[in-house]
Chains A and B, each alone.
Chain A
């Protein structure tokens, strides 16, 4: 097990270095002079020189790379718009995104799991048919349409929920539902398939032969075994929710890191763009790493296969 975790960690660092390199080169891909793009054509030469020096763009490329990593590690990257260290700006936003992604995941699980289980138990019935339609609609409906539709219905027509912003639970419902719908579609499909696989297993037949009640067989024996792949998908999807919340955050004016990134792009705050991309990618990779390790902990086959 230790060897597996070590190997997985060993793979994490090259990926993070690769991501950091991509992020470093962003600023060099800007067509024209990145400093003038950030400050605008009306910038004074002295201002431009000061920013160029601050971003180390007046240094040779290899030295820029060293300084970039040094600033990154020491938390010295400064946002142009906020005029303070980027990680100070990002920290509260990251927390808000985690909150949104967590509730989106909870909503998705609460919707998808019963649907998936029920459709597996009633295979080829109308319930199964409806559940498959739900799953297909869930993965196909765009966030940028679902969000506004929910606002029109629940905020503007009925006035039940707030249109936007971050506050109590009521502020969380619509954005979480918008963000979680795709995951709910995928999860209902996975849980149906996983339950179907388990329902055909011989140990359930032997449980029935021993006189166990159907309710107990499904909840205690079938569901327990079907949960392993479902939990893995939930974990991996949580990473996807964290890294894909831009649109939901923009629609609902949710003060998360996705919205911060989009605003940083439009205010041409490249250091903040770089930091946001890096933090989002790092969160995504960390969640995936943790899921992989947890999966190996609960399922010895994965561990042995990957070690072998």
Chain B
């Protein structure tokens, strides 16, 4: 019962951020770039619930747009990484032999490289921008999925349903998408949930360092602005940071719940 309540809380938090992000232009009480220099650094009030930044812009409105950027990057990076990783892992696992060995060596090589370092270096070279951030984070993001999918394929290809589908003459793509995919999708979903949390954190880190999105407000850039006014306007740091924290912890918890649920399901099937 407690777990169900916790899961419901997690889903509610994610839904609030998603709705807030999607409908930001309708929900934001002020345009995100509307300035009011006379009210710069004002604290929370009835008309500006999370206060105003140095230029007098409404922090809450900017955070709604920030949620949009965070979720967009998180979902795009995970989608690209999961699709590429799935294809590479499934092909390597089902082909086996030299192809498998070569692909896995490349995967090992890429896994040895610290991901955020490559993302920072790429963002530095390509310049700031939403597309560049997604590209930089996806470039190494697929590697974990490829390894996971390949491991699953090695288990599944020994099972009777796979053998019989192959005996009936199913082609490789049909085998992968029609027969393997439904059986190996669950652990990929668990990893995707953790992946969204990781991508949101990485995007916010890049934006905090000034290497992420610049024209559109994002949680990282809001925090980067706020750190200059810790003494006079701590609300500029507290609220955007709390938003990233809530979003990341929610996706991490969702991953935990999904993982626990699948373990229970697996035990049930084994019995």
Contacts and interface: CB of A to CB of B under 8 A. Distances in A.
A215 to B, nearest CB: 33
Chain A's interface size range is: 35 or more
B90 interface: no
Nearest to B256: A136
B185 interface: no
Chain B's interface size range is: 35 or more
A289 to B, nearest CB: 10
Contacts of B249: 136-137, 140
B183 to A, nearest CB: 27
A262 B120 CA distance: 9
Given A149-B241, A240-B114, A243-B116, A140 B208 contact: no
B39 interface: no
A273 B121 contact: yes
Contacts of B113: 15, 18-19, 22, 281
B114 A140 contact: no
Interface string A11-28: 100110011001100110
Interface stretch (A59-67, A115-123, A245-253): A245-253
A15 B248 CA distance: 32
Contact of A142 (B124, B127, B245, B253): B245
B237 A152 contact: yes
Given A144-B204, A243-B114, A261 B120 contact: yes
Given A26-B125, A137-B249, 5 more contacts: A31-B127, A140-B197, A140-B249, A277-B117, A285-B112
Interface of B: 108-109, 112-114, 116-118, 120-122, 124-127, 197, 201, 204-205, 208-211, 220, 223-224, 226-227, 230-231, 234, 237-238, 241-242, 244-245, 248-249, 252-253, 256
19 contacts: A14-B109, A18-B109, A136-B249, A136-B252, A136-B253, A137-B249, A139-B252, A140-B197, A140-B249, A142-B245, A152-B230, A246-B120, A247-B205, A247-B208, A247-B209, A261-B120, A265-B120, A265-B211, A285-B112
